[in-house]
Copies of this chain bind each other. A is one copy, B any other.
Amino acid sequence: MTDTPGQRGSYYERHIFFCLNHRDTGEASCAQHQAQEAFDHCKRLVKTQGLAGPGQVRVNKAGCLDRCAGGPVCVVYPEAVWYTYVDQADVEEIVESHLKHGVVVERLITPAHLGR
């Protein structure tokens, strides 16, 4: 049975995942770069602005997204847009522009060549 993905509505209009991975080995990981604080800030902003929930936005914790060289990273689906953020102002811009209005924040996009 074949099927065309995407015919159904998405349960969340936008689903953002923050890598919160922590490494004890001394290797770089997003958790060393205030990923938890960024996640908390994003979650709080989305909630207080009434954007959270089915049909709207979900802010999610994730394990290693395997793009450590671009970290700290988050990814917004279904658009599959990856961001490298530096501070809380970056998170605020992602929420206001992308999560709220669907406009990608070009300046924060993770360079395509950066993987693990």
Contacts and interface: CB of A to CB of B under 8 A. Distances in A.
Interface of A: 1-3, 5-6, 8, 10-12, 15, 17, 54, 58, 60-67, 75-82, 102-104, 106, 112, 115
B3 A82 contact: no
A62 B65 contact: no
**Stoichiometry (number of copies):** 2
Contact of A66 (B58, B63, B104): B58
Given A15-B77, A79-B78, A80-B78, A5 B63 contact: no
Given A10-B80, A78-B80, 5 more contacts: A3-B104, A5-B76, A5-B79, A8-B81, A8-B112
A1 B10 CA distance: 25
B5 A81 contact: yes
Contacts of A63: 60-62
A66 to B, nearest CB: 6
Contacts of A79: 5-6, 78
A102 B1 CA distance: 11
